[in-house]
């Protein structure tokens, strides 16, 4: 068996009961196999064995008091996966599904994503099984303060810089930043996604969604196509989905769907984004409320969003939301491009279906890297104690996404699998990290 497949088999045995982490490793190591096995120096240096093992993982108790005066306990996590090219960087996810497997798959993917941005950031991820849904602002604050009262000792502006992810937005980042500053008595850029009054960057809110569409737009243009007049299916209705929808609309496409964990809306006339922002960003409501304000729209409970015919699909909800059957349906309905706004939204089977059918497929590691890239720009601004204008940040973001496209396309071509951006992203992301690890010795 080859070096790469040996490491994968051993890693599967070493991480029982962690299906998402095993899925992420399987995808990455399988596509890296020809590249790595042709370079025996990686085996000698044990690069892959080191890569699949986090440098550090912290698991902690988060006690807090709810509005009824009862003590509640959640689990907190921070996995510091790889710091070869910069301080650990990656979001915090607050969602009931959070467990070690989810945080490890996210942290592992983050290593390659962050490398692809071209910026000096390592890979990490964290979070909790706490569910902010239905909690009062005071309960969310109590939880965030307790979470940071443990996390603060593991992070720092030059050590590990967390940010948002599912369930963690501006409100949560604010509460955590306040508690960090209070505990360490230092004002520093320890978190990104901060509010604009205390060190946040303009365009960070929009960055993941905008970046996704910049990359998809570039991929289409290089293949003689464009977003103009296209029908686009977007899933999710959080930060990524909302700003991806906005950018698609600005570039002349028509978004016809959005979803949440309960169901999805289909609006053949095109999504009314100000209505969605009011429901989601102001009232923190559910996407089903859209129908009450827009009589032409249809709300469907449960799965089924990928049955809606579209030219382009942008899964922006969560991992494994799009399976092999969904992919076949999309292909049958004429979908010719997919951009992953979420982390690992397509299952291994779905990815295979897209690649076999020559769908232009931009994997999350490349396509959603605009968020973390803009976080790195926020870190730069904090270090320099300045702030750039919206247009400056937006232009840098666009340049970064075009650069990512160039790199993943070149790596795919070099590996003799032109237009396979899954392999291209993994190889391009891996190269830089592996090189840095080799130069730093056995650490
Ligand atoms: N959670 C986002 C991601 O998956 C953003 C991370 C960050 O800004 O550090 O990349």
pLDDT in tens, 375-427: 999 999 999 999 999 999 999 999 999 999 999 999 999 999 999 999 999 99
Domain match, 71 and 126 both: yes
Indicate whether 307 and 235 sit together in one domain.
yes
Mean local confidence (pLDDT), 349-372: 98
Residue 284 lies in a domain: yes
Query: In terms of domains, do 243 and 325 share one?
Result: yes
How crowded is residue 145: how many other Cβ atoms within 10 Å of its Cβ?
18
Q: What is the pLDDT of residue 203?
A: 98
Residue 373 pLDDT class (50, 70, 90 cuts): very high
Helix (H, G, I), strand (E, B) or coil at 315: strand
- Whose alpha carbon is nearest atom 10 of ligand 1? 372
Taking each helix axis from N to C terminus, what angle separates 369-384 and 390-414, rounded to the nearest 10 degrees? 130
Q: What is the pLDDT of residue 1?
A: 86
Q: Residue 185 in 3-state DSSP?
A: coil
Kindly state whether residues 25 and 87 are assigned to the same domain. Answer: no
- Give the C-alpha distances (Å, rounded to integers) separating 170 from 4, 195, 197: 41, 6, 12
CB of 205 sitting under 6 A from ligand 1: no
Nearest atom in ligand 1 to the alpha carbon of residue 192 is: 8
Same-domain check for residues 183 and 297: no
Q: Is 371 in the pocket of ligand 1 (CB under 6 A)?
A: yes
Cα 292 to averaged position of ligand 1 atoms, centre (Å): 33
Known catalytic membership, residue 133: no
Q: Does any ligand 1 atom lie closer than 6 A to the CB of residue 89? A: yes
Bridging pattern class, strands 122-128 and 160-163: unpaired
Distance (angstroms) between ligand 1 centre and the Cα of 40 equals 33
In a domain, 412, yes or no: no
| Under 8 Å between Cβ of 404 and 362 | no
By the 8 A CB rule, do 124 and 89 touch? yes
Residue 213 structural domain:
206-367
Residue-level pLDDT at 443 = 86
Q: Which of 79, 163, 340 to mutate to test the pocket of ligand 1 (most atoms within 8 A of CB)?
A: 163
Confirm whether pTM is higher than 0.85.
Answer: yes
Residues listed for the chain: 443
Q: Token pair for residue 189?
A: 């850029």
In the chain, the number of structural domains is: 3
- pLDDT tens-digit readout, 9-58: 999 999 999 999 999 999 999 999 999 999 999 999 999 999 999 999 99
Provide the token pair at 35: 């590249």
Q: By 3-state DSSP, what share of the chain in percent is helix, strand and coil, each rounded to 5? A: 50, 15, 35
Q: Is 91 in the pocket of ligand 1 (CB under 6 A)?
A: yes
Domain shared by 182 and 62, yes or no: yes
Q: Are 311 and 327 in a shared domain?
A: yes
Residue 137: exposed, middle, or buried by beta-carbon count in 10 A (0-12, 13-18, 19+)? exposed
* Ligand 1 center–CA 126 separation, angstroms: 10
pLDDT of residue 267: 98
* CA 89 to centroid of ligand 1, rounded, Å: 8
Question: Residue 338 has what pLDDT?
Answer: 98
Give the position, in ligand 1's atom list, of the atom nearest the Cα of 368.
10
Q: Across the strands, what pairs with 92?
A: 126
Spatial CA neighbour of 107 closest among 47, 147, 160 = 160
Active-site option among 89, 104, 113, 125: 125
Residue among 85, 58, 76, 91 at smallest CA distance from 161: 91
SS3 assignment for 79-144: EEEECCCCCEEEEEEECCCCCHHHHHHHHHHHHHHHHHCCCCCEEEEEEECCCCCCCCHHHHHHHH
């Amino acid at each position: 068996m080859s070096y790469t497949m040996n490491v994968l088999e051993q890693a599967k045995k070493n991480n029982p009961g962690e299906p998402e982490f095993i899925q992420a490793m399987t995808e990455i190591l399988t596509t890296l196999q020809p590249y790595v096995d042709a370079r025996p120096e990686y085996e000698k240096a044990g690069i892959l064995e080191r890569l699949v093992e986090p440098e550090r993982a912290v698991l902690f108790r988060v006690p807090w008091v709810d509005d009824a005066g009862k003590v509640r306990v959640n689990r907190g996590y921070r996995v510091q996966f790889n710091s070869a090219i910069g301080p650990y960087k990656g979001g915090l996810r607050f969602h009931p599904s959070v467990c070690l497997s989810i945080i490890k798959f996210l942290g592992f993917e983050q290593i390659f994503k962050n490398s692809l941005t071209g910026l000096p950031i390592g890979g990490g991820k964290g979070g909790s099984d706490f569910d902010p849904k239905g909690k009062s602002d005071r309960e969310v604050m109590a939880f965030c303060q307790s979470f940071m009262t443990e996390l603060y000792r593991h992070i720092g502006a030059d050590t590990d810089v967390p940010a948002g992810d599912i369930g963690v937005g501006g409100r949560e980042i604010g509460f955590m930043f306040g508690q960090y500053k209070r505990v360490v008595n230092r004002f520093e850029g320890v978190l990104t996604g901060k509010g604009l009054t205390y060190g946040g960057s303009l365009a960070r809110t929009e960055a993941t969604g905008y970046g996704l569409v910049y990359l998809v737009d570039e991929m289409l243009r290089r293949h003689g196509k464009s977003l103009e007049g296209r029908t686009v299916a977007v899933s999710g209705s959080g930060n990524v989905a909302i700003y991806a929808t906005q950018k698609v609309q600005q570039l002349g496409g028509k978004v016809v769907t959005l979803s949440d964990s309960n169901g999805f809306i289909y609006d053949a006339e095109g999504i009314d984004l100000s209505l969605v922002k009011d429901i989601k960003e102001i009232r923190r409501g559910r996407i089903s409320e859209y129908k009450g304000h827009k009589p032409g729209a249809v709300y469907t409970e449960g799965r089924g969003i990928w049955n809606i015919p579209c030219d382009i699909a942008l899964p922006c909800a969560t991992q494994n939301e799009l399976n092999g059957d969904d992919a076949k349906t999309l292909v049958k309905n004429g979908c010719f491009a997919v951009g992953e706004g979420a982390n690992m939204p397509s299952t291994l089977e779905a990815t295979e279906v897209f690649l076999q059918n020559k769908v232009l497929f931009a994997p999350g590691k490349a396509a959603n890297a605009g968020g973390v890239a803009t976080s790195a720009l926020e870190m730069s601004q904090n270090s320099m104690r300045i702030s750039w204008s919206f247009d400056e940040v937006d232009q840098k973001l666009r340049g970064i996404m075009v650069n990512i496209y160039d790199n993943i396309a070149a790596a795919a071509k070099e590996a003799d699998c032109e237009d396979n951006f899954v392999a291209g992203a993994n190889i391009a992301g891996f190269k830089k990290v592996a090189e840095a690890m080799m130069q730093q010795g056995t650490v």
